[in-house]
Amino acid sequence: MSAARTLLLWYDGHRRRLPWRAPPGVLADPYHVWLSEVMLQQTTTAAAAPYYARFLARFPTIAALAAAPEPDVLTAWAGLGYYARARNLHRAAEIVAAHGFPRDPAALARLPGIGAYTAAAISAIAFNVPIIPVDGNIARVLARRHALLAPLPAAMREIRGLARALAADAAAAARPGDFVQALFDLGATVCTPATPDCTRCPWRAGCAGHAAGIAASLPRKIAKKPRPHRYGAHFWLTDADGRVLLRRRPSSGLLGGMAELPGTEWRAEPWSRRSALAAAPMRTRWRRLGEVAHGFTHFTLEITLYAGAVPAIAVPAIAAPGFLCDEEALGAEALSSVMRKCARLAGHAFAGMPARGTPAP
């Protein structure tokens, strides 16, 4: 029995139930596959699942997503991070709504935000194209099965070649979508990063890494450089009506189009109280609430949060991109995860990510 057929037999009895996965024998909705794959970039399955359900309830079709204003899309995405994903998803939906959903991986990869991996995943799972998208799970499984000693990313070229050979197997080619998802499930539930459960693996007999006793150490990776640290100061300013001053970030770049509390730039040197308050939106008695820590892909950020109150906020006079928001309506704003942490530290009962702030002395 071929390796592909062995894995498919295992999958038929052990497939995970996921919100975006079609029932056995049913071809998946390409919109559902696309949305889930975009959400799962840099996000775990457990974290993405509730966002997927809420997003799909708000934008049930590609046409609905394409017709929505971008701020509404960003609001629905708020908390997932990596907001360029939401902006690209929206732009691509506009194209797909107008011209149809391409099935070919090359055509899919021309849509905003869809790279080679996502294009292959959509093609295989939604359109049964015999292609294998190589993500971290699949790379790990194949590196262990073939005992590849070259570290990542150097080993990726050989791993992709092994994936192409698997996709050409008759059993895999007959059920491309199921085979790809079988590989995903094998990596996510059995051939896990730190402690692979080789006793439950359908490929144990043919696994060179298991035979050599080195499966858990594969794939090897080059040590990452430590991420640089940046510092910022932001301001929680309220008026007599309980409204909070927010501003909109530029549409491009990090957290593009998201709402945030006004503040300083993020730089390599810490901000002294004096230098930070020089950037405050208004003069008032500012109280330091503490620090909020947040990790981005390429750097870590530490924000010092200050709080102040004034009778009235003249928005146009102090912050051109600024606007006022009732505290009760903050949940409807496209606040990034780090700004949600700031709101939590300010004492706002916000149903978002918990703050990791350090209370001020």
Catalytically annotated residues: 37
- The set of residues, in sequence order, having a beta carbon less than 8 Å from that of 313 and lying 6+ positions away, is 237, 239, 243, 245, 281, 282, 324
Nearest to 359 by CA among 350, 348, 351, 347: 347
Distances (CA, A) of 291 to 232, 270, 342: 10, 12, 8
Rounded-to-integer distance, Cα 79 and Cα 6, Å: 39
Half-sphere exposure for 36 (CA within 13 Å, toward CB): 21
Q: Tokens at residue 90, please?
A: 């929206």
Nearest to 227 by CA among 292, 291, 295, 293: 295
Q: What is the 3-state secondary structure (H, E, C) of 184-205?
A: HHHHHHCCCCCCCCHHHCCCHH
With contact defined as beta carbons under 8 Å apart, do 289 and 273 qualify?
no
Instruction: Looking at the chain, list the stretches that DSSP marks H as alpha helix, in order from N- to C-terminal side.
Output: 3-14, 30-39, 45-58, 62-67, 70-77, 84-99, 105-108, 116-127, 136-145, 156-167, 170-174, 176-189, 208-212, 273-277, 315-318, 337-345
Q: Would you call 77 exposed, middle or buried from its count of C-beta atoms within 10 A (0-12, 13-18, 19+)? A: buried
